[in-house]
Amino acid sequence: MIEILKVRLKQGCRTMSYPAGPAPEMPPHFTGRPVIHPESCGEDCRECIEVCPSDAISVTGSEVRIDTGRCIFCAKCRQVCPEQIIDFSPDFRLAAARREDLVLGSGDDPVPSASSAVAKKLFGRSLKLRQVSAGGCNACEADTNVLNTLAWDLGRFGIQFVASPRHADGLLVTGPVTNHMELALKKTYEALPDPKIVIAVGACAASGGIFRTHPESSKVLADIIPVDLFIPGCPPHPATILDGLLRLVGRIDEKE
C-alpha cells in the first residue's frame, strides 16, 4: 500500500484542467468544424458533392453548405475541391441544440448554441445518463467511454452513466436506429422519469449518417423521440462530446 501511494504521489494529477484551464490540444490530423471560404466556386463544379459518402454537401449556385449532422469528416471534399473552398479547422465545438444549426454556410459562422434552460436548471450539478446503442459500430461508444478515464474524469462535473433508465435523467444515443432497436429505444425512453433529455452522439444518431437510406435503419432518431442535443462526428472526439454536454447543462459559458 505504501508503494502504491508513493507511485500516485510521483505521478501527480493526470486529469486535464479543461474547462477551467486551456482546451485540449487537438492532433495535427484532426478534422474539426468545417470552414467554407467566401470565394465563389465554379457553378458547374460538383466534385465535392460527388465524392461525399453521406450527401452532406449542397451547392446552390455558387453557395456551398455542409450539413455537419451528416458529415463523417473524411475530408474527401477538401481533397478534391479545385478552389480549396472547403477546409476543416481544429475547432472541436460542433454540438448544437437545434438540428438546423448543424448546417454551415460560407463565412465565419458562430459556434451554434447547445444550451438548454431546462437542462441547466435541473441537471446543471448532476446529470445521470443511460447510454443506448441503437445499432452503432461502437466507435461513438468508445469515444464516449474515454470520458470516464482518469485524464477526462467526466464524474467531476456530476455527469455519470447509470445502468437503468429509471435512474437516469436522459438518454445518450449512438448509432443509427435500426428497425430491431426502435421498439427497445422507445421503451427505454418511456422508462425515463420526467423531465428528461435526449442526446444524439455521432452522425448516425444525428441524421442516420451513411446508413440513413438503408432499409434496416430507415428512421432518424429525432423522428422517433425528441432530441435536445446533437453532437456531430464519426465518431466525435471526446472533447467534442464533453464540450456539448457541458454547454447543454450550462457548465461552459456559450460566449466563450
pLDDT in tens, 41-63: 666 777 888 889 999 988 877 78
Q: Pick the residue with more confidence: 249 or 44?
A: 249
pLDDT score at 177: 92
Share of the chain above pLDDT 90, in %: 57
Q: What is the Cα–Cα distance from 53 to 55, expressed in whole angstroms? A: 6
The separation between CA 131 and the C-alpha centre of its own chain, rounded to angstroms, equals: 14
- pLDDT mean over 81-93: 88
Mean pLDDT of the chain: 89
CA dihedral of residues 113, 117, 122, 128 (deg, nearest 10): -20
Say whether pLDDT at 239 is over 80. yes
DSSP helix/strand/coil, 92? coil
Q: With contact defined as beta carbons under 8 Å apart, do 209 and 234 qualify? A: yes
Q: What is the Cα–Cα distance from 134 to 112, expressed in whole angstroms? A: 26
pLDDT bracket for residue 40 (50, 70, 90) = low
Q: What is the pLDDT of residues 94-121, one digit of tens each?
A: 999 999 999 988 765 678 888 888 898 8
How many H helices and E strands in the chain? 9, 10
Q: What is the DSSP letter of 146?
A: G
* Nearest one of 256, 253, 239 to 94, comparing CA atoms: 239
**pTM of the model as a whole:** 0.91
- CA 111 → CA 27, 103, 132, 152, 183, distances in Å? 21, 11, 27, 23, 34
* Nearest one of 213, 217, 156 to 185, comparing CA atoms: 217
Domain chopping of the chain, boundaries: 117-248
Query: Does domain 117-248 fall into CATH 3.40.50.12280?
Result: yes
3-state percent breakdown (helix, strand, coil) of the chain, nearest 5? 35, 15, 50
Q: What is the Cα–Cα distance from 17 to 19, expressed in whole angstroms? A: 6
